[in-house]
Structure 1
Amino acid sequence: MSKEKDAQYYLVREDVLPDAMLKTMQAKALLDRGKAESVADAVQMVDLSRSAFYKYRDCIFPFHTMMKEKIISLFFHLDDRSGALSNLLAVVAQTGCNVLTIHQTIPLQGKANVTLSLNTQGMKSDMNELIRKLRQLEFVDKVELLGTGA
């Protein structure tokens, strides 16, 4: 079997990644945005060796790049107020996601749980931006990424 077929993938929080991996991501972003003309320029700008860049460049990717044409499930803990779910769905729609399923519990003690399954194929921003926008809604107490699928 090939090395890639045997590979396992993990979703890891940014704050636990080694510095070299984070700098590799920064260098890749500089190259993608045209802020660096070459790998040598990009690694110099982020203070990373070229060997470290080449070691990690094909092994680490922003979460949102792996999410195109995928389904994600998000869990929310919401205040029970008029229009909360509608406003939440409006933010989701503005990002270009397509809602596949909605599950909402009966509100108890002024709170309701909502789970959304979303198709991210048409997403206009990245996943971190979507979650940030959703967390900023005043009626949202909690947002969690439950899982992803094809």
Structure 2
Amino acid sequence: MGNRFYVVKEQAVPEVLLKVVEAKKLLDSGRAHTVNEAADQVGISRSSFYKYKEDIFEFHEHSQGTTITLTFQMEDEPGLLSDVLKIIAQFGANILTIHQSIPINGVASLSLSIQVLPTTGDVSDMLEAMEAQKGVRNVKLLAKE
């Protein structure tokens, strides 16, 4: 098995992996000074930490300086696309392309290519904010370059 990557929602990730991410945050922030201390604080063994530490990371950590392509459906409502674009702007990402289908039964399909900059906020939070926008559904990450 090679280096294949998957993007999954947090709810699908086993708890031990989420705790490894939290332990890494504790170490990076200085709130824990040793692996043993970080593992104890999050409730995992040191062996679990070492087993998974290179294989799990938050999406945001490895998205800066890249281009991501998103797809989603959106109701055909005046100003809704503008609201979605404002969310992206609020997170400090740069929109490269917008492709929108003609609405069918009041719903349009869109794909956006977005440049993630070093100053961009957490991409996962941005996607969550987009999906929470009334009239927007099924926000999916298609590609990361």
The aligned counterpart of 1:11 is 6
Q: Distance in 2 between matches of 1:56 and 1:115?
A: 33
CA distance in 2, matches of 1:82, 1:122: 32
Q: CA deviation at 1:142?
A: 2.2
What is the rounded CA distance, in whole Å, between the counterparts of 2:68 and 2:51 in structure 1? 30
Deviation, structure 1 residue 18? 4.4
The CA deviation at 1:78 is 0.5
1:76/1:143 contact within 8 Å kept: yes
Name the amino acid aligned to 1:8: N
Q: Within 5 Å, give how 1:1-150 maps onto structure 2.
A: 7-13=2-8, 14-149=10-145
Output the amino acid matched with 1:77. Answer: Q
1:116 match: secondary structure: strand
Contact residue 64 and residue 120 of structure 2 kept, 8 A: no
1:58-102 deviation digits (Å, cap 9, x = unpaired): 222111111111111111201101111111111111111111100
SS of aligned partner of 2:83: helix
Which stretch shifts more, 24-33 or 128-137? 24-33
**TM-score relative to the length of structure 2:** 0.88
Identity of aligned residues (%): 38
Unpaired runs of 5+ residues, structure 2, are none
Cα RMSD for the two superposed structures? 1.9
SS, match of residue 76 in structure 1: strand
Instruction: Indicate the residue corresponding to 1:3 in structure 2.
Output: none
